[in-house]
Amino acid sequence: MSLTWPWALTTLLIFPALLGYRWWTRRRRRRETVRLPSLALVRAALPARSHWRRRIPLWLFAAGLVVLATGAARPQASVPVPANSTTIMLAIDSSGSMCSTDVPPNRLTAAQAAAKEFVEGQPDGANIGLVTFSGNAGLLVEPTDDKKALVAAIDTLRTARGTAIGLAILTSVDAIAEINADVPPTGIDLPAADPVEIQADTIVVLTDGRNTQGVDPTTAAEQAAARGLRVYTIGFGTTQPSSMVCNPNQVGGDAMFGDSSRFSGGGFGGRRYQNIDEPTLREVADLTGGEYYQAQDAAELTQVLRDLPNNIVLQRQDMEITGWFALAGALLVLAAVALAQWWGRTPVGRSPSPP
C-alpha cells in the first residue's frame, strides 16, 4: 500500500492532543472536587463500570482517528486488473527470415499457430489487437473481442524485407491510444511524471531478428514507458542454420533475401542463422516493466504465449481506497461514542446500596 498525501498523517497529532486535554480536565476536576463526609454514599450512587468498559471506547476512538488520518493520506492498494479491462496488442514479425525452417515447417507457420491458440484461449470479452511488421508496421486488426476476425487476420500474414521493431511498438501504442483516453498517442511531448501511472493495456512483440529499419526499439520503448504501457518481447528461433522455405501464400511482393537466395518449387533456397538482438529486446522489456522470453521451437513459443495472461491480465494496478478507510474510521468512532454512552448511562430506578 502507498500513500498519495503522506503529509496528511500529521493529523494523527490530534489524538495525543485530545489525550492531553482529557488529562488536564480530569486534573482540574480533582482540584474543584467538593469533599464529602462519606465517599461510600457517592460510590453507591454511581453506576458500576468495569475497567475494560472505560478503556474500550477510548481504544475504539483512537483506532478510528488513526484510520481516518490514514484515509486522509489517500492510500492506494495494488489490485489485480480484470481481463476485460485489458487490451493486448500482439505484434508479429513477418520479415523474410520468418521463412526459416529451423522451426518446422517454418517460423511463420509456427508463430501463426501459436498466436491463434493464444487468441482462442483468452476469456470472452478480452480485447486483442494485431500488428504485423517487416520493413514497416501496420495495424491489421484494431483491439477487438472478435476472435474469429483475429484468427482470420493471423492467417493472412505475408513476409517482406526488413524488420521494424520500433515502428511496431509505436503502432501498438497508437492503437491503444484510440480506445484508452489515458494513453496519449505517439508524437506528443509528455510532461515528466513520477511515478507514471501503469496502464492495464500491454504490448507483446514476437520477432526472430533485429531492428533494421525505422525507429530504434529502445526509443519506441521509452515512448511506451512514458505512457505506462508494458512491452513483453519474445525472441523466436534457434541458432541452427537452416533453409528458407515459405509457401506462395506466405510470400509478399518484396520478400527477397539477397543474392544467395532464390525462389524455387514454392520455397526459398539459402540458409540463415538466428539473428535475434536479445540485448535490445531485454532492454525494451526492462524499460517498460515487461519481460523478455526466448522460444526456440513451436512448443516453447506456445507455452510462452499460454503463460502470458498470468503476467499481463493479472497485472496489479494501484487503486485509491480512501473511501474504505473513511467508512471504517467513521464506524469505529461511532462505535466508541455509542459504547461510551451506553455503558455510561445511569440505570432508571436504581437506588444506592446501603453503606
Measured distance CA(316)–CA(206) in Å, rounded: 24
Residue 141 contacts residue 130 (beta carbons within 8 Å): yes
Measured distance CA(244)–CA(97) in Å, rounded: 7
Residue with the bigger pLDDT between 285 and 195: it is 285
Residue with the bigger pLDDT between 189 and 185: it is 185
User: What confidence tens digit (pLDDT) does each residue in 242-251 have?
Assistant: 898 998 889 8
What is the DSSP secondary structure assignment for residue 142, as one 8-state letter?
Answer: E
User: Would you place residue 225 in the very low, low, confident or very high pLDDT band (cuts 50, 70, 90)?
Assistant: very high
Kindly tell me if the per-residue pLDDT of 262 is higher than 50: no
Kindly tell me if the per-residue pLDDT of 260 is higher than 50: no
Kindly state the average pLDDT of the residues 236-265: 68
Place of cell 471504517: 328
Residue 168 contacts residue 204 (beta carbons within 8 Å): no
Select, from the ranges 53-67, 85-99, 238-252, 309-323, the one with the highest average predicted confidence (pLDDT): 85-99
pLDDT of residue 210: 93
Kindly state the average pLDDT of the residues 204-223: 95
Q: Any idea which of 133-147, 168-182, 304-318, 326-340 has the lowest mean pLDDT?
A: 304-318
Kindly tell me the number of DSSP H helices and DSSP E strands found in the chain.
10, 13
Measured distance CA(243)–CA(106) in Å, rounded: 9
Measured distance CA(343)–CA(321) in Å, rounded: 33
Place of cell 530504434: 216
User: Would you place residue 74 in the very low, low, confident or very high pLDDT band (cuts 50, 70, 90)?
Assistant: confident
pLDDT of residue 79: 63
Kindly state the average pLDDT of the residues 268-284: 75
Kindly tell me if the per-residue pLDDT of 145 is higher than 90: yes
Question: Alpha carbon of 246 to those of 137, 159, 252: distances in Å?
Answer: 20, 9, 10
DSSP letters spanning 333-355 = HHHHHHHHHHHHSPPTT--PPP-
Measured distance CA(321)–CA(77) in Å, rounded: 7
Q: Give the sign of the dihedral formed by CA 191, CA 192, CA 197, CA 200.
A: positive
pLDDT of residue 318: 64
pLDDT of residue 100: 92
Kindly tell me if the per-residue pLDDT of 264 is higher than 60: no
- Compute the mean pLDDT over every residue in the chain, rounded to the nearest whole number: 80
Own/partner pairs for 333-336, CB < 8 Å, 24+ apart? 333/60, 333/61, 333/64, 333/65, 333/68, 335/60, 335/64, 336/56, 336/57, 336/58, 336/59, 336/60, 336/61, 336/64
Kindly state the average pLDDT of the residues 279-291: 95
User: What confidence tens digit (pLDDT) does each residue in 3-26 have?
Assistant: 666 666 676 676 677 677 767 776
Phi and psi based region of residue 51 (left: phi greater than 0; alpha: psi -120 to 50; beta: remaining): alpha
Measured distance CA(133)–CA(161) in Å, rounded: 10
User: Would you place residue 185 in the very low, low, confident or very high pLDDT band (cuts 50, 70, 90)?
Assistant: very high
Kindly tell me if the per-residue pLDDT of 266 is higher than 60: no
Give strand ranges (E) for 55-99.
Answer: 75-80, 87-93
Measured distance CA(298)–CA(328) in Å, rounded: 52
pLDDT of residue 315: 53
Select, from the ranges 81-90, 170-179, 313-322, the one with the highest average predicted confidence (pLDDT): 170-179
Kindly tell me if the per-residue pLDDT of 328 is higher than 80: yes
Residue 84 contacts residue 313 (beta carbons within 8 Å): no
**Nearest C-alpha neighbor of 284 from the set 200, 170, 119, 134:** 170
Kindly tell me if the per-residue pLDDT of 316 is higher than 60: no
What is the DSSP secondary structure assignment for residue 246, as one 8-state letter?
Answer: -
Q: Which helix (H) or strand (E) holds 268?
A: strand 267-268
pLDDT of residue 189: 81
Kindly state the average pLDDT of the residues 193-212: 88
CA 1, 282, 155: angle at the middle one, nearest 5? Answer: 105
pLDDT of residue 163: 95
User: Would you place residue 48 in the very low, low, confident or very high pLDDT band (cuts 50, 70, 90)?
Assistant: low
**Nearest C-alpha neighbor of 299 from the set 97, 117, 155:** 117
